């Protein structure tokens, strides 16, 4: 794999390296047409491709950014990442996607690796467990934007949704349809997003003067959700409506229902956080609390770019509203 360098092109064209460099950077103003053509021909013949690596080293800019998602299996992460990648490709910036797998150690490793690779900036779905590291990033002035989650006491701008309000809204919806026992099912409360949702849950229950039953708040790893649901539904007064924290939880609920012969929309109502691509196609169609993932990704990308280009060093958090998409799975009216 013989590499052809600028020097080779220069020799072939009978000019100096700098002239070739000029050519590549399209500074034709002071270049004779002949030289220009000679160089073009030489490049063509040799099949020369500039080495971005060397250029990056010199320019101290790699035109690469890193995305660290908490859990790549989560559909929301995928959508957001896609948006970020799309945005940056328009600016000739490549994204490297890393999956921290909800593991703070992996997150740390990736952050350090990406910095070593000199990426120009980072968009992180933080595990929220590496405070010192986040603070280091801020101090060293590294361009970073947080996604989906917020970390207190760290001055990094974040893009997220109004989790609390969205949860209140879906509960309001359930109440209007006559539900009196509503349960929320989520993964462990290690991150702000889930905490906010449970806070919204508590608030809504309280404000509606309903009984707050702690057993109705399931916070468990996905692998344990099925058994927890079994316990919940074995109670004398099981819930009549469930709120699923994300698409992964939703699949667990589906599995639970299937195994236990419960029909969604009949035996219990259901609403799910996240965009489920097939939500409107299954029977019954599933009510979702959709996050504007594409806009969120785009926004974060914009913010990061402005940080990279130093246009703006003091960015505000951005909070999006969720959209409640009512479908059949939550439309049953409960008459006690």
Q: In the complex, which residues of this chain contact a second copy (CB under 8 A)?
A: 1-3, 47, 49-54, 56-57, 60, 62, 64, 72, 78, 82, 85, 94-99, 112-113, 115-118, 136, 140-142, 251, 254-255, 258, 277-278, 281-283
* Cβ–Cβ < 8 Å for 75, 130: no
H/E stretch holding 95 reads strand 94-99
| Cβ 330 to DNA shortest distance, Å | 56
- Which residues sit at the interface with DNA, rule CB under 7 A? 3, 5-7, 14-19, 21-22, 24-25, 29-32, 34-35, 48-51, 54-55, 57-60
Q: Please, which residues have CB within 8 angstroms of residue 240's CB and are 6 or more apart in sequence?
A: 179, 180, 181, 182, 268, 269, 334
277 binds, among DNA, a second copy, none (CB under 5 to 8 A by kind): a second copy
| Cβ 301 to a second copy shortest distance, Å | 15
Dist CA 270 CA 289 (whole Å): 11
H/E stretch holding 64 reads strand 64-69
| Cβ 4 to a second copy shortest distance, Å | 10
78 binds, among DNA, a second copy, none (CB under 5 to 8 A by kind): a second copy
188 binds, among DNA, a second copy, none (CB under 5 to 8 A by kind): none
Dist CA 66 CA 294 (whole Å): 17
21 binds, among a second copy, DNA, none (CB under 5 to 8 A by kind): DNA
| Cβ 1 to DNA shortest distance, Å | 11
Nearer to a second copy among residue 84 and residue 296 (C-beta): 84
15 binds, among a second copy, DNA, none (CB under 5 to 8 A by kind): DNA
The Cα-based distances of 56 to 18, 43, 53, 137 in angstroms read 17, 21, 5, 21
The SS3 assignment for 221 reads coil
Dist CA 327 CA 6 (whole Å): 61
H/E stretch holding 320 reads strand 318-320
314 binds, among a second copy, DNA, none (CB under 5 to 8 A by kind): none
| Cβ 322 to a second copy shortest distance, Å | 22
| Cβ 199 to a second copy shortest distance, Å | 30
Return the number of other C-beta atoms located less than 10 Å from residue 251's C-beta.
15
Nearer to DNA among residue 61 and residue 135 (C-beta): 61
Nearer to DNA among residue 15 and residue 95 (C-beta): 15
Question: DSSP per residue over 133-184, as a string?
Answer: HHHHHHHTT--EEEES---TTS---EEEE-HHHHHHHHHHHHHHTT---EEE
């Amino acid at each position: 794999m013989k590499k052809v360098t600028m020097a080779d092109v220069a020799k072939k064209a009978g000019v100096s390296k700098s002239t070739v460099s000029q050519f590549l950077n399209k500074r034709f103003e002071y270049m004779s047409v002949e030289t220009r053509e000679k160089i073009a021909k030489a490049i063509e013949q040799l099949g020369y491709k500039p080495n971005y690596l060397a250029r990056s080293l010199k320019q101290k800019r790699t035109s690469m950014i890193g995305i660290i998602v908490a859990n790549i299996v989560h559909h929301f992460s995928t959508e957001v990442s896609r948006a970020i990648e799309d945005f940056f490709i328009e600016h000739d910036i490549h994204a490297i996607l890393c999956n921290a797998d909800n593991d703070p150690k992996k997150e740390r490793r990736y952050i350090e690796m990406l910095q070593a690779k000199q990426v120009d900036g980072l968009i992180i779905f933080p595990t929220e467990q590496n405070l010192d590291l986040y603070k280091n990033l801020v101090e060293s002035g590294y361009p970073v934007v947080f996604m989906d989650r917020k970390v207190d006491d760290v001055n990094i701008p974040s893009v997220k949704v109004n989790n609390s309000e969205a949860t209140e809204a879906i509960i309001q919806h359930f109440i209007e349809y006559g539900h009196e026992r509503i349960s929320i099912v989520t993964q462990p409360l290690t991150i702000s997003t889930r905490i906010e949702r449970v806070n919204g849950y508590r608030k809504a229950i309280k404000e509606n003067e309903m009984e707050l039953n702690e057993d109705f708040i399931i916070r468990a790893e996905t692998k344990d959700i099925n058994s927890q649901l079994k316990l919940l539904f074995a109670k004398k007064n099981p819930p009549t409506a469930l709120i699923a924290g994300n698409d992964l939880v939703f699949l667990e609920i589906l599995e639970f229902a299937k195994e236990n012969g419960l029909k969604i929309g009949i035996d219990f109502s259901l609403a799910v956080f996240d965009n489920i691509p097939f939500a409107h196609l299954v029977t019954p169609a599933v009510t979702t609390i959709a996050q504007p993932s594409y806009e969120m990704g785009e926004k974060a990308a914009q913010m990061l770019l402005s940080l990279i280009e130093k246009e703006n060093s003091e960015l505000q958090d951005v909070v999006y509203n969720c959209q409640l998409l009512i479908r059949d799975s939550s439309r049953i009216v409960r008459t006690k």
